[in-house]
């Protein structure tokens, strides 16, 4: 139990997928202009990532094994694409507004390197099934956390007197850098 908790805290804070592993920067920059969109994106990614972690672990362990290891990336991508496709239909039905604001970023969860990265890291770290699920959930929660906080910051930044050359994505990148600086404070917390 403590092990799972450590994995969770570790992936959410210490080794945050965005802030310390620098994965998933595309949606992090792209879907953080509005707080509500960011929350929706976070929820969608959490769903996809947790499911993908578990499924890909099962596939890796029971279908691929050692001899078919070369199919890992391929099959993971297929699984992720399937889950994303499902999520897309689900969101389109339940929240058309969210579907529209997420726009291209929703299908792009497929190519979100964080979503592929976490199942691959699971294999690398030789996580068991539950560990993989927790690792996926933690990574996704960490992603959602920074995405949502970052979106709230950007909403305020939007109205700031940022000098012209730094406006828009530029100052957002700088802010992300400073966020990352702050997250370094968690260094040494686990392991």
Residue 170 Cβ vs other proteins, minimum distance, rounded to whole Å: 9
> Which tokens sit at 37?
């969109």
Measured between alpha carbons, how far is 175 from 82 in angstroms, rounded to an integer?
34
Residue 107 Cβ vs other proteins, minimum distance, rounded to whole Å: 13
User: 1 vs 93, which CB is nearer to other proteins?
Assistant: 93
Measured between alpha carbons, how far is 115 from 50 in angstroms, rounded to an integer?
9
Among 78, 108, 113, 120, binds other proteins (CB under 8 A): 78
Residue 69 has what DSSP assignment? Answer: G
63 forms part of the interface with other proteins (CB under 8 A): yes
Which ranges of 20-128 does DSSP label H, i.e. alpha helix?
25-30, 35-58, 72-94, 96-102, 113-124
Candidates 109-117, 121-129, 135-143, 170-178; binding stretch for other proteins (CB under 8 A): 170-178
Half-sphere CA count of 51, side-chain side, radius 13 A: 18
> Which tokens sit at 96?
């058309």
29 forms part of the interface with other proteins (CB under 8 A): no
Q: Are 83 and 52 in contact (CB under 8 A)?
A: yes
Candidates 46-54, 93-101, 123-131, 135-143; binding stretch for other proteins (CB under 8 A): 93-101
Is the C-alpha dihedral spanning 98, 104, 50, 24 positive or negative?
negative
107 forms part of the interface with other proteins (CB under 8 A): no
Residue 174 has what DSSP assignment? Answer: H
Candidates 20-28, 41-49, 114-122, 171-179; binding stretch for other proteins (CB under 8 A): 171-179
Residues making contact with other proteins (CB under 8 A): 35, 59, 63-64, 67-68, 71, 74-75, 78-79, 81-82, 85-86, 89-90, 92-94, 96, 99-101, 103-104, 148-150, 152-153, 155-164, 166, 171, 174-175, 178-179, 181-189
């Amino acid at each position: 139990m403590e092990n799972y908790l450590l994995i969770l805290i570790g992936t959410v804070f210490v080794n945050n997928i965005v802030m310390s592993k620098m994965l998933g920067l595309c949606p992090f920059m792209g879907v953080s202009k509005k707080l509500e969109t960011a929350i929706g994106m976070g929820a969608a990614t959490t769903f996809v990532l947790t499911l993908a972690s578990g499924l890909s672990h099962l596939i890796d362990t029971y279908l691929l094994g050692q001899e078919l290891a070369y199919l890992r990336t391929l099959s993971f991508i297929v699984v992720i694409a399937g889950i994303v496709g499902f999520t897309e239909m689900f969101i389109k039905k339940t929240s058309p507004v969210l579907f529209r604001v997420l726009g291209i970023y929703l299908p792009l969860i497929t190519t979100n390197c964080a979503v592929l990265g976490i199942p691959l890291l699971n294999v690398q770290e030789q996580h068991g099934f539950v560990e993989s699920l927790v690792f996926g959930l933690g990574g996704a929660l960490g992603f959602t956390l920074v995405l949502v906080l970052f979106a709230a910051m950007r909403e305020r930044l939007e109205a700031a007197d940022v000098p012209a050359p730094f406006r828009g994505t530029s100052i957002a990148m700088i802010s992300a850098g400073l966020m990352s600086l702050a997250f370094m404070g968690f260094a040494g917390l686990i392991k």
